[in-house]
A and B are shown apart, each in its own frame.
Chain A
Amino acid sequence: MPDLITTANLADPDAVFEALMNAHRDLAPEASRQLDAKLVLLLANHIGDPDIVKQAIALAVE
């Protein structure tokens, strides 16, 4: 079973953080929640492997 990558793997972390913040700027809490849910679903589909997604959930819950 492949492992969730938890070492630095993001090519341009500052740009990704900035893109997330820009997307949420001016959104009400409910709309923000919608946006995050859509992002999680899009990225989970891109990952494809349910085991990786479950490892990420377990880590996030910790």
Chain B
Amino acid sequence: MPPHYPYRPPTDPGTRHPIIIVGGGMVGLTAALDLARRGQPVVLLDEDDTVSIGSRAICHAKRSLEIFSRLGIGQALLAKGVTWNTGRVFAGEKQLFAFDLLAEPGHEFPAFINLQQYHLEEILVEACRKAGVDLRWKSRVTAVDPRADGTTLTIETPDGTYQLQADWLLAADGARSATREAMNLPFVGKVFRDRFLIADVTMRAAFPAERWFWFNPPFHPGGSVLLHRQADNVWRIDFQLGWDADPEAEKAPEKVRARVAAMLGPPILPANTEFELDWVSVYTFRCRRLEKFRHGRILFLGDAAHQVSPFGARGGNGGIQDADNLAWKLNAVLRGQAPESLLDTYDAERIPAADENILASTRSTDFITPKNDAAHAYRAAILALAEHHEFARPLVNSGRLSRPAAYTASPLNTPDDAPWPPGLPPGAPAADAPCGEGWLLHHLAPDFTALVFGPTPATMPPGVTALHLPANGLAAHRYGAQAGDVILIRPDQHIAARWHHCDPETIDAARRRCLCLT
């Protein structure tokens, strides 16, 4: 049964709070947890009193798990989730190929885990509660009045409406963001003319923890189907229905049961597998974003800021990276360590990241939903060639799975002052590696960390913690570093700068640049 969190009548009408987050989904909760762990008081408003209905965002990428690990819940998610590395792509009755998402050793987290969004949110709510986030359930925002120095919110509760003032408002209220609608902000992008049926099905089956994608399978002719295993023997199945499908008729349980039953039987599942439907929905999707994510004192995150098709798991993972990018910046501004202009770099870094996700998911959607005869012909040609010819397999697009954004064009980066071997340029997320008894990323400080390679004595400027690493280990290899090199890591564990030769003044200048102080 889903949890129901306690609603408490408001006791502080009219009060001004430094940070109010609208939306208690996975992205709003992640931002709340990050800010609370940085010592910020956070009020979070959610319109209902429970977690996500249905599995929704299920594939959590390594980078998201590393962010959650920084927030103290990485291992809990790993323990609850289903780790997978293998994907298989089928056309008709035949397997075209399998792919392995690299089980490269020397990382704490795997490429992906599958975990229902409601489980993730339950773990996040508990962590937020422990971190002191003021969680206000059954609190629906009905009016948003932005000013230069803050926002007045009108909030509807079971006890009537009241108002709060926010110095900073984080809108994480999803694709139908009430904040966005209240501010009348347009989306740029496109809507796809296709419908998908999504079903959570509980069944006991020995099917491996793999991603299976079918083009035009015998049990669902003319459409595509995606199958994933999640926690608690819950299976997620997405059926492509086409634009002309009737969404209400398709949701009828007997109709969905027939679709699932048609899948049973070799090679997928034993013919007599018993199953139960947990949740069914029909969705269409959009690939679009707001023109800007920062609007004065209001910042948009996750689906409220940008939306993608589900193929590639870029919605949830992109939203988590938004929260990761924004929390340390807002914390630095609120502490007076950085000017407000640091928050403009949320746009400078996350808009290119959103565009990358929109491009990848638009291309996947164009492959999965061909728009004209030529697209059908090319796709059929690719699928026909892919079975026997390796060259055609990279052209098969059943979703390009989420990759962490590298902010390589960010104004916060200090450009290299000397050539580096291929490795991790400024803006890239820090790579994990074994470190002592644990993992490198666990040793990074909440603010700035300098990775110092080899037996190099190093004096650090204020606000920077040194982490000494061997010059011949896996970490040095991953960072392309040699003895004497120093790499500066930001509070969100992205790389800010790197040097073969530096002194405390150089490091301090890079730190100041990263805080928009120069």
Contact = CB atoms under 8 A, between A and B. Distances in A.
Question: For the side of the interface on B, what is the size category?
Answer: 10 to 19
A37 B377 contact: yes
A41 B385 contact: yes
Contacts, number: 27
A13 B395 CA distance: 30
Question: For the side of the interface on A, what is the size category?
Answer: 10 to 19
Contacts of B382: 41
B391 A38 contact: no
A42 interface: yes
Contacts of B391: 42, 45
A42 B373 contact: no
B385 A42 contact: yes
B377 A41 contact: no
A54 interface: no
Interface string A27-40: 00010011011101
B381 interface: yes
B392 A41 contact: yes
Interface string B358-383: 00000000000000011001101110
Contacts of B185: none
Nearest to B391: A45
Most buried by B among A36, A41, A45: A41
B377 A33 contact: yes
Contacts of A30: 377
B384 interface: yes
Contacts of A33: 373-374, 377
Contacts of A34: 377, 380-381, 384
Contacts of B395: 41
Most buried by B among A36, A38, A42: A38
Contacts of B380: 34, 37
Interface of B: 373-374, 377-378, 380-382, 384-385, 391-392, 395
15 contacts: A33-B377, A34-B381, A34-B384, A36-B377, A37-B378, A37-B380, A38-B384, A38-B385, A40-B378, A41-B381, A41-B385, A42-B385, A42-B391, A45-B391, A45-B392
Given A33-B373, A41-B392, 5 more contacts: A34-B384, A37-B377, A38-B385, A41-B385, A42-B391
